[in-house]
Structure 1
């Protein structure tokens, strides 16, 4: 067959014996420019160009792609713009074609008053067709996509090019090796401080195009990253960003989480950690968005999930820099981990453990010790995935046939279960199962009879600790629940969610009391003051809010951290608050003045969890409480709050610390995290 090259032909396929098109009577061109046999029309692109499949007879009929500029416009300015963009596409392909995941240019020429470019044929399918055929992508597949595509964006941005039209249709999966290939550079622009387009000539696709590109014609690397975030959203949810944009404008990106689990659609299980990355990709304000592909790679490559990405995943550009580890809900947002070979090679690895893997792979690496002492922590093993949250019962409950003397520990995991442990025997008491998503937070009631759990499945469950049975499920949040906390009288539960709200629940009835709104990003941590009058909340919007529980109004907002707030805790005397952040610091706040009284710096990575030991707990000679912090730098640190000095460091051989808990007597510290799915226990008596 031979294809008619008349752009207006409605039935362009003809037998090779035809001299004229059977449909439009246009003379057929057997060989374009003497050696390209055009055999099939592939697509018509936006009324400006048509893409054909062709064979190069000079290369044993090797397949190639021919793109014909055929703008259906008469206005001179627009026509000139189209010609300019078409030529730019050819130039970009010539410059960028050295990358193995970008089609290279074979020819650019004019024939019969039409412009043509010929490029390498990629045997594969675009991601839109893949989505339509096989359904929504899961988290693993989105991570693989990002880690294959981001290095391509890094490469083109470093060459001064912005793609300006990232969307599923322009991303191919190559059949031969499964690698991602980026196509269609027709809308790309040379990177300048500001790329100003004329009104009416803005380039991009509605729903994928960021506001600065849509309204002002300005395009930056961060503009491509917004489009990438919208692409990932579409692949995860199956909901077109174009449709949302038509209905809501840009407001949909502020609450994109709620669209992942719409009624009538299969539920999407998404970790908070990947959620953080997508949230930052989809920021409307370009200043709040990722500024480079490297920044996204850094956050992703310290997040863990077994991937099947080829070892050359970041080839085609300079090696990635050291990457930033992941952060769980209350500290990070998860996924399970591996791809260790890639991390050790320095190529891969947000949400994970380059530092942790590197440590564990070093010979003679110190194992678990306490500040240089040789004592080893004991361990609890039973979870099948990372341990996100640990909590001690405030009292020793009278559990049937358990002989509990040293206390009860609860642990929540990515394996979607909660386990109760007898610390005296270090044996499991119960496994609590019922959540359909990762467990991000667990908390005991003050009387030790009820356990609350918050999950990525957007629900809170209450558990009877005498029977190990579920009491009830609290529903109302529209995104994962990152933190739960009981009031001192045990009558109220607070829950913090990635839907940017805090909810208060009546535990006797299971009904929602009220919803507190004011944060502009996910809420990662909540805590009640001991007098039951104040609730504190820490958020990814880098602020802490203090709430009056009688009026549900904000008392004040504490500002000072330069990145997400991950964990907060009231001091035992209720006079101060501690906050842990992704900025690697801990701040102590005077609740009367709202001022930060001290900043603790020693961790080398994000601080995920905080807990106080009363002054009479760890060291009776200390006048003030001791603060304990867990971090992605694989350590737990203890702090003298009077001096602000580090007292000691509890080392782990590998793995991030996602949660820390202190026994009621102040003599035991427990850390949960990513290392072999273990819970580690240190006895810290002086």
Structure 2
């Protein structure tokens, strides 16, 4: 075949669809011969309706790829054109093997692997469904495991349909694959998000049992879904069986209606309390083992997870951070909004902090990790990596995507309370806002005359306070991107900022050894806290709004009465500079990270040291999960460590 569009050179045939067309592997000459996939529409049938339908589906597939290809687990559309009376669709090549071929080699998947597959694919389905798209042909052949990172990619959107009031084909017409497609899709030509979930359940059944749903459908119709467990070669947990049962419900109304519903049933049952010895300390993490029943209460509190992609239940979450000399810290407060959150804030007695242990270690590719943000749902972590930002799945340890745009090192990151927007500050003197679901830059704020090292987002997610090496704090409206005002009083760079839980006041720490409290809306300083003998590197305000906590290069942590400005107590068991602090969401405990390679957990009310965690060098950032049972730390040793409570 000649060069297409003077750009794409075909190298071999991947598949021949007979009367429909062919799929080729090709090279994109405009991208240094990068491999790509070319689909050619060359229908040989004469029926006018069928021909029109084929052209329409082909065109719709291009539209879907253009709409959805921004997701890292969906191929990107590279080109769509007509040439020599044929239609061509060019898309990103996913280098890997589909799950059907993988199954033929493995001869069956374990229950643990099925959970991993669900964990990886459900956020992808959530992503497409929330954009009004139904795939309609989910099966092992259309799921490819990418060689580079092991992630599962969803391909072949040729049968996909835009979700409207009536997603329905003409009478007697069905789209999908028999055995994998739900009855409403095959019988009535109707499709819903729940239809894709049936297909996902049938796919899991095939991988788990090695038995083809198509073969069962040809012999028994849909009767097999009632007795699917009879085909199991090995027993599985009741929890997983219940999930697959509901995925395979024949009646669409009895089935799961959204990917989120499946995730909610799966995640509490995937929490692992196994010691670190059971986890590889690299990015190719395997899923945790199943909980024994004695941990049922704990796991129901604990929300773990993945990519997601990432539209999160709103819950208050704020982060404050350090200075140019790698001073970063994060802290979290209780939300004033309960909305529809599934997160449960535990009572102090429910979180035995003395039982924290190291559960996972993520290795950053090549740079020190200076700042981290834990999504409000506890399923993803975002971290800096040089001048880029990386999002990771907390469950698998795998990188979801990388954000690029800064020209200097990223010093600080934080999420809005709803988890939908990320804010990053850099040595390039700019602040960037990112859409986390799409992985795209929203806007850039450029007003500081020096490196940006610290900021905080207000509890309502509307205001950003930025501290800089130019000794000022600038306030921005996150909705409009407009600067609101500037606070001036510090005599040296501002190294940390934090909003109060009610959002009315702002605290700032500085290299000038002081902490200042502001009525930021009026631009007025309320008071100054003095007592540290060196730079204040990190600050946090307790959820009750009464106590301010500060960490310093003077190796101490100080607790202050926010109303009076008086020092309550000083904690001084670290042997080196304190670079990060975080408060549990219930306000019961405090974590402090130091260059002495330890993280100390403290009782805020008594000042008593509860526990010391060791093994993390040059700690720069800390973050608690919303239930207080997971602590994430980052440091100069190029790692992110995940600590969990064991009972």
TM-score (norm 1): 0.43
For normalisation by structure 2, the TM-score amounts to: 0.45
Larger radius of gyration: 1
